[in-house]
Structure 1
Amino acid sequence: MKHLTPSIPGDVPSNQRAQSAWRSVRDHLERTGILLVLAILIAVFAIREPAFLNIDNLFSILQAVSIVALLGIGVTITLAAGGFDLSVGSVAASAQMAASYVLIVWHGSALTAVAACVALGVAAGLFNGLLITRLRVPDQLATLGTLFLLAGLQLIPTGGRSLATGTVLPDGTEASGIFSDAFLALGRLRLFDVVPLPVLILVALTVLACIVMETTRWGRVIYAIGGNETAARLAGAPTARYRIAAYAASGAIASLGGVLIAARVGRGDVSAGHSLLLDAVAAALMGYAVWGAKRPNVFGTVVGAVFVGVLLNGLTMLNAPYYMQDFIKGVLLVLALAFTFSVGRPADSRG
């Protein structure tokens, strides 16, 4: 006869303790993995180049990523609603050209230029939303069409030339207006000669967007639509109006990024905004890996933008070849997402 050893109350088998410990470590890595990688990057760059931690350099990084982060927030809102706004780069580029036109050609004020840009962004967002909800055009195709539409439209008023004081317009007249100091301050002013104004604008908008998306009914409905639009509609939510509002918000935020571009460079640059879309999308997707969210979230998007900014600034300070930067950025994005989703995946679901 086999003798059974009585179990002692509270005695947990070692394999169960090991599994529990691994789950705890896995959950911790899932939540903090991308932040740990960011901290490691900062440490490595600081060791290799001590000037990396100079306060001016750190704020320079934040100023550089502020526009990408703003556009990424817009992309995040549309992702949360189950869509995908590919037009944010063109909206920002068109907005900075519109601001330049108002100031230099129409001799408008800084307030008028900002208002015109925001109006343009909202109009582009509404156009996207109506294409998607009323004409049933898929999100990516609708916003891709708007991307090309705005990319071409911004070139027409100046005949494809950048716009600055003294530029000769297609009708033969010369643009004689200037960028006012009030407008330039939006992109160049530093609070206490240290903190750039665009960084403060990003912080304020990030806080506002986090509150709206995470704590209000509007944000909860947006996430519900992104999770299951049919269920949200059956529950009584006006899904079409919410999706249109999401794209309008994305357009408005992207146009604000265009304002900051124009205020920073001090002219209407026809080449501005070409790389903004990919960087904004990368930041929004990297946000999935922040704090184990696994969903679009504003805070994660801003962290993703900072991650990319730190990486590019550090590589530049270390004199890394420019042609390697996009490759390294892509590798880290893929690894961050793969790590986050594979770590958080239950062991028994892995084939």
Structure 2
Amino acid sequence: MTAKVSKKGINWFDFLYKYGTLITIVILIVFFGVATDNFLTSNNITSILRSISITTIIAIGLTLSLAVGGFDLSVGSTASLANAVVISMFVWHSQNMLVSILVVLVLCALVGIINGFLVTSFKIQDMLMTLATMFVIQGVAQTYTRGATISQNMIMPSGDYAPGSIPALFGQLGKAPWIIIIMFVAVILVHLLLTHTKYGRYMYMIGGNSEAAKLSGIPVRKYRFIAYVLAALFAGIGGMILAARVMTAEVNAGAPYLMDAVAAAFIGFSVLGSGKPNAFGTFVGAVLIGILSNGLIMMSVPYFAMDIVKGAVLALALGITYYKRKH
């Protein structure tokens, strides 16, 4: 680790901007390890990784939209839709695992295509456009499920029991180690895409200055379109992993993950001084949120106070990121 040294000494703001998140994680680990009995056990560490897996997968998709200068607010609703559809394919339609997953991926790709088309075809800010599609997708998911929880042996409107069952193999995807492995695979793939391919460099160029990228011959609309399709696909994968974890489909099950995903992605901007969306930083941001949540729960902090902490962390991350950009 090195910090910028001038005649006045170390630039502490730059140092904390680069390493502050990692230092905070270490401090939290030490604090919760001392304050609680079971925080540093292998079972609890596995529990933290398992708890952040869905958030990380969804946040990785959000990171791709941020990389091209966009912001996909619909990822939480897309995860809810994927969660509902994959369980319904098993329970209502008695489909096998392969068919059910493919149907969800196609559906989520369609969501991404719609988002990508609207964002690239109309001169409306990405955040506002995806806010609109967020409500539409949320409404579609609620209409599809009739606002009810989908589960095995549920009573159908006809009065009969649902004919299908959820495969045991699908349920394994929501358990350790598979849920953690899927998370790491997603992080590694997006990290390689953004940092080691020309496509990732193009996406960063578009996010940095879309007009300059266009003048350089980069097909800006194409890459922005692809970013939104990928964001929806990762949200869909996150929704299916959520379904495998809880083995039911709750109304708006993916919505609570939006705030955590946004926080993880923006915290990631400052990790190691990156200053831009990146997969490793997003993962570190998710780890920070996971450690905070887990530690506070073990200290018996009320669950309804969690959002205060998460909101404060997000506000701090945004403040540092945008202050750094302007100075």
Name the TM-score class by shorter chain.
over 0.9
Aligned to 1:30: 17
Q: TM-score, normalised by structure 2?
A: 0.93
Q: 5 Å matches for 1:122-133?
A: 122-133=109-120
Q: Report if the CA contact (8 A) 2:84-2:145 is conserved.
A: no
Aligned to 1:252: 233
- Tell me the amino acid that sits aligned with residue 88 of structure 1: V
Q: Report if the CA contact (8 A) 1:103-1:179 is conserved.
A: yes
Q: Report if the CA contact (8 A) 2:263-2:313 is conserved.
A: no
Aligned to 2:65: 78
Q: Which runs of 5+ in 2 are unaligned?
A: none
Aligned to 1:330: 311
Shift of residue 292, structure 1, vs aligned partner:
1.2
Q: Report if the CA contact (8 A) 1:292-1:340 is conserved.
A: no
1:235-259 CA distance string (max 9 Å, x none): 1111111111000000010100011
Question: Within 1, Cα distance between the matches of 2:141 and 2:210?
Answer: 35
- Describe the shift of the 1:160–1:52 C-alpha distance in structure 2 as closer, same or farther (beyond 3 A): same
- Tell me the amino acid that sits aligned with residue 334 of structure 1: A
Q: 5 Å matches for 1:94-243?
A: 94-170=81-157, 174-188=161-175, 190=176, 196-243=177-224
Q: Report if the CA contact (8 A) 1:33-1:340 is conserved.
A: no
- Tell me the amino acid that sits aligned with residue 89 of structure 1: G
- Tell me the amino acid that sits aligned with residue 168 of structure 2: D
Aligned to 1:266: 247
1:137-156 CA distance string (max 9 Å, x none): 32112211221111111122
Q: 5 Å matches for 1:12-23?
A: 19=7, 21-23=9-11
2:254 is paired with a residue whose SS is coil
Structure 1 position 294 matched with structure 2 position 275:
yes
Question: Within 2, Cα distance between the matches of 1:341 and 1:81?
Answer: 17
- Tell me the amino acid that sits aligned with residue 295 of structure 1: K
Question: Within 2, Cα distance between the matches of 1:135 and 1:30?
Answer: 36
Q: How many residues align?
A: 323
- Describe the shift of the 1:26–1:137 C-alpha distance in structure 2 as closer, same or farther (beyond 3 A): closer
Q: CA RMSD in A?
A: 1.9
Q: TM-score, normalised by structure 1?
A: 0.87
Structure 1 position 277 matched with structure 2 position 244:
no
- Tell me the amino acid that sits aligned with residue 70 of structure 2: G
Aligned to 1:6: none
Q: Which runs of 5+ in 1 are unaligned?
A: 1-16, 191-195
1:211-234 CA distance string (max 9 Å, x none): 100111111111111111111111
Aligned to 1:60: 47
Question: Within 2, Cα distance between the matches of 1:18 and 1:242?
Answer: 40
- Describe the shift of the 1:241–1:103 C-alpha distance in structure 2 as closer, same or farther (beyond 3 A): same
Aligned to 2:287: 306
- Describe the shift of the 1:132–1:41 C-alpha distance in structure 2 as closer, same or farther (beyond 3 A): same
Give the share of equivalent positions with the same residue, in percent.
37
1:77-134 CA distance string (max 9 Å, x none): 1011011000000010100101011111111111111111211211111110001112
1:43-99 CA distance string (max 9 Å, x none): 000000131011011111111111111111111110110110000000101001010
Question: Within 1, Cα distance between the matches of 2:106 and 2:291?
Answer: 33
Question: Within 2, Cα distance between the matches of 1:162 and 1:277?
Answer: 20
Aligned to 1:43: 30
Shift of residue 336, structure 1, vs aligned partner:
4.1
Question: Within 2, Cα distance between the matches of 1:63 and 1:261?
Answer: 11
- Tell me the amino acid that sits aligned with residue 132 of structure 2: G
Question: Within 1, Cα distance between the matches of 2:317 and 2:117?
Answer: 35
Shift of residue 339, structure 1, vs aligned partner:
4.7
Q: Report if the CA contact (8 A) 1:158-1:169 is conserved.
A: no
